[in-house]
Amino acid sequence: MCVSEGGEVTLNSADPLQQANINLNYFNNDLDIIAIREGIRFAYDVLKNGEGFKDIVEGEYPWEMPLDDDEAMKRTVLDRSQTSFHPCGTARLSKNVQQGVVDPSLKVHGIKNLRVIDASVIPVIPDCRIQNSVYMVAEKGADAIKREHGDLYR
């Protein structure tokens, strides 16, 4: 599952050891629920009635799905949905502070000598494994640091 609108991470306390408040913003838009609900109905229809499946699918797994009741489907979707995406973008890259946290050289807007070089700068969850994107961000960050501090890297 991938949300259609971004979530947020906010501080819970001034104590850096306290867990932050994380709102992934799942199902903030009713279209998210409708898309998942109708996708489930379509998949069940293919499995129960489609050639090659209807003779081998014996029941609903791992739980029964209330396919004929929109409200019950909504509750089931809300109770059982999860993501396999690796969230990112909590310190998103942007040219200005109104739209993000770090500039193109990965420096935090308005703070000297602080960079963020991890998945949090990626503004949109990639449609692939995030690992390669993180490698790219790390390479870009390392290059920027070496370029600005060439005297330290000979």
Active site residues per annotation: 86
CB 93, CB 121: distance < 8 Å: yes
- Measured CA to CA, the distance from residue 20 to residue 5 in angstroms comes to 20
CB 71, CB 30: distance < 8 Å: no
- Measured CA to CA, the distance from residue 133 to residue 64 in angstroms comes to 38
Query: In terms of residues, how long is the chain?
Result: 154
DSSP secondary structure letters along 47-81: HHHSTTTTTT--S-SSS---TT-HHHHHHHHHHH-
- Measured CA to CA, the distance from residue 49 to residue 68 in angstroms comes to 16
